[in-house]
Amino acid sequence: MGAVLTLEDITHLKMLDRLKSDFIHTISHDLRSPLTAIMGYVELLERVGPLNDQQKQFVRHVQNSAQNITSLVNDLLDLGRIEAGFDTRRDETSLDAIVRYTLDNLEQQIKDKKLNLLLQIEPGLPTLRGNPIRLRQMVDNLLVNAVKYTPEHGEIRVELRSEGPQIIFEVQDTGVGIPITDQPHIFEKFYRASNAPKGTPGTGLGLAIVKSIVEAHEGRIWLDSVVGKGTKFIVVLPVFAALLVPAA
């Protein structure tokens, strides 16, 4: 019978978002120098004289905490760079090599939790056009999460395949799952699901970084998860040739 069109001016929201990002970027940047000084001097402590066992233990605590803040600051700076579109490096990249390399690095953690790893990589998988460092960060965050949120003796299935002009990367686990009410927010900065096991280290930045990397590579990401059963993250990225402009 008719149509209703509603328009809303969101300029002020965009401005607020911009202010927030600038603020986070400035703070992260300013935290870097004092953190480097703390790490440097703590490292020197043991060299200027012998420390007793208790002092050594305190030094280790300081080192661990400073290391955690350093990773947080680096994550925030990375996110700022990717979101601002400064991350423009693009090389022909093999996602299968990145996945194998990342899994090699996680081998010990997978063994320690007695997880069953199923790896399925399509032979002759096409390459894609991307920043290998960022793609490694994307793969690493998803695989580390699968290991982190899956209890002992669980299973992790990693699959890489191509479908037409797209590469599909799937990471499926039999972990704690993500409640349906948390799922719409799971890619937001600092968001952690309400059922994240107590004491699990993390900042809630990993998936925000993953999403911004995927989107900067013209891709899409979504998840399929059931609490108590497990989670599957699906990433779709365009293959290298699909991005080439066909000759006229």
3-state percent breakdown (helix, strand, coil) of the chain, nearest 5: 50, 20, 35
Does residue 149 touch ligand ADP according to CB under 6 A? Answer: yes
With CB under 6 A as the contact rule, which of the stretches 21-29, 50-58, 153-161, 169-177 interacts with ligand ADP? 169-177
DSSP string, 161-194: EEETTEEEEEEEE-SS---TTTGGGTTSTT---T
**Amino acid identity at 137:** Q
Residue 45 near residue 57, CB atoms below 8 Å: no
Residue 193 near residue 140, CB atoms below 8 Å: no
Looking at the Cβ atoms of 125 and 207, the one nearer to ligand ADP is 207
Closest distance of CB 168 from ligand ADP, Å: 17
Does residue 154 touch ligand ADP according to CB under 6 A? Answer: no
Looking at the Cβ atoms of 25 and 157, the one nearer to ligand ADP is 157
**Adjacency order of strands within the sheet including 220-226:** 116-121, 155-163, 166-173, 230-238, 220-226
Does residue 79 touch ligand ADP according to CB under 6 A? Answer: no
Looking at the Cβ atoms of 132 and 204, the one nearer to ligand ADP is 204
Judged by DSSP in three states, 125 sits in coil
Looking at the Cβ atoms of 130 and 177, the one nearer to ligand ADP is 177
Binding residues with ligand ADP: total (CB under 6 A): 22
Residue 24: both structure tokens together: 């986070």
Looking at the Cβ atoms of 130 and 206, the one nearer to ligand ADP is 206
Give how far the C-alpha of residue 25 lies from the chain's centroid of Cα atoms, to the nearest Å. Answer: 18
Looking at the Cβ atoms of 21 and 183, the one nearer to ligand ADP is 183
Binding ligand ADP (rule: CB under 6 A), the pick from 90, 113, 157, 192 is 192
Which residues are paired to 56 by β-bridges?
none
Residue 126: both structure tokens together: 């096409």
Phi-psi region at 91: left, alpha or beta (left = phi > 0; alpha = psi -120 to 50): beta
Looking at the Cβ atoms of 129 and 136, the one nearer to ligand ADP is 136
With CB under 6 A as the contact rule, which of the stretches 8-16, 59-67, 85-93, 204-212 interacts with ligand ADP? 204-212
Does residue 78 touch ligand ADP according to CB under 6 A? Answer: no
With CB under 6 A as the contact rule, which of the stretches 22-30, 56-64, 103-111, 185-193 interacts with ligand ADP? 185-193
Residues 6+ apart with CB under 8 A from 74: none
Question: Rg of the Cα trace of the chain?
Answer: 21
Closest distance of CB 37 from ligand ADP, Å: 26
Which residues sit at the interface with ligand ADP, rule CB under 6 A? 141, 145-146, 149, 173, 175-178, 186, 191-193, 196, 202-208, 231
